[in-house]
Structure 1
């Protein structure tokens, strides 16, 4: 029996996936969570084999949660299930320890296929994402359309939280670092992107589909 934890901050999406998975033979949905922080807590108690992880969530977010969960739980399989279908996130998620990437526009059968593959020890990525990454590899630097390509993983995570309206102290608590460290990230982000304020950062994030406009405070 494959134990699954579903993580998504949108109740309808999360509960919809839970209900569909509950009807699949060989699966047991041991719980659900609406944030990265809750996912970390529930994983300790529920010991899932697979986590279906949303990427863009308030607070810790999917990238940081994946990194923490994989580091603390050897053998845990994390599959990103997200509305983001560009080629910026998949490499970062794989670096964080995810073994699969499925877009929310995928058929439910693709989600179950991804679960079955990662349980067997394989990697899984939606076809459209795999094609984009392949094209990116062959087209080289000329394909770099997003200004966020230049950011490190931690800078990328910090950007998401700043753009969502979180304060420096809140971000520092999420990453368990000092506010001074977050201000250093913030300075480097502004310098790399050629901007001067949180407002400019948020507008740039929305413009390049890096941030869901519905999450902007």
Structure 2
């Protein structure tokens, strides 16, 4: 098994590497600290499984997965994130992910996710499966959590605004015009009923269960 772990935190890469070695002691593991390095490694090696931190430097958007799969169409992608799965898991599945786990997941569940994905299936936690089975993903989550009303692009922009990234820097990261980012910001404020960044941060503090 050939695995690429893309995460900017060394302790996370170490922990995940140990779990992978427990699954397959003969596995080959590559590591990347940012998205540019991830792409360089994908260009140099055939990878069976990419374990991807969605907030990795140089990435941080929903297009990362399509970029990865354009390089290696058969690669399996397990998103490993600190962000709330209720808000983000379905978005990343739609973007092409094969699985989604939060970083506080137990080693046992990480092993289960890896084995499931490598068998050709998608993996989601019991929590998300229950939401799907009960038909609640689009109903109750959307009604109760205003952040779910944002589009994928608005979610990306909002998350960066909360992180203190300027509109100019956001435009560069997402390859957008600054005016387009301004339009997204206006729509975000309108949908979330906020009037400034401080209120946006507070809205995320309340509703983003990361």
Q: Does TM, scored on the shorter chain, surpass 0.5?
A: yes
Q: Which runs of 5+ in 2 are unaligned?
A: none
2:94 is aligned to: 95
1:63 match: secondary structure: coil
In 2, the alpha carbon distance for the partners of 1:27 and 1:181 equals: 48
Question: What is the aligned length?
Answer: 209
Taking the aligned partners of 1:67 and 1:146, their CA distance within structure 2 comes to 27
Could you say which residue in structure 1 is the equivalent of 2:51?
A: 52
Q: Distance in 2 between matches of 1:139 and 1:57?
A: 26
- Structure 1 counterpart of 2:191: 192
Q: Secondary structure at the match of 1:202?
A: helix
Question: Could you tell me which residue of structure 2 aligns to residue 34 of structure 1?
Answer: 33
The 8 Å contact of residues 21 and 29 in structure 1, kept in 2 or not, is answered as no
C-alpha distance after superposition, 1:98-145 (max 9, x if no partner): 01122333332322222222222211111122123333x158634432
What CA deviation, in whole Å up to 9, does each residue of 1:169-193 have, x standing for no partner?
Answer: 2211211222222112111111111
Q: 1:25 to 1:205 in 2, by over 3 A?
A: same
Q: Quick one: distance in 2 between partners of 1:46 and 1:116?
A: 21
8 Å Cα contact 1:3-1:27 kept in structure 2:
no
- Cα separation, 1, equivalents of 2:205 and 2:57: 16
- Could you state the TM-score of these two structures normalised by the residue count of structure 1? 0.83
Aligned to 1:127: 126
Match of 1:75 in 2: 74
Whole-angstrom CA distance in 1 between matches of 2:25 and 2:37: 25
Structure 1: give runs of 5+ residues left out of the alignment. 213-217
Q: Does 1:208 align with 2:210?
A: no
Higher relative contact order (CA 8 A, sep 6+): 2
Deviation at 1:59, TM superposition (A): 4.9
SS in 1 for 2:176: coil
Query: Where does residue 174 of structure 2 map in the other structure?
Result: 175
Cα separation, partners in 2 of 1:96 and 1:140, compared to 1, 3 Å:
closer
CA distance in 2, matches of 1:150, 1:22: 40
Farther off after superposition, 89-98 or 70-79: 70-79
Partner of residue 108, structure 1 = 107
Runs (4+) of structure 1 exceeding 6 A deviation are none
Q: 1:119 to 1:139 in 2, by over 3 A?
A: closer
Matches of 2:137 and 2:101, distance apart in 1: 23
Q: State the TM-score, normalizing by the size of structure 2.
A: 0.85
Query: Aligned-pair RMSD on alpha carbons?
Result: 2.4
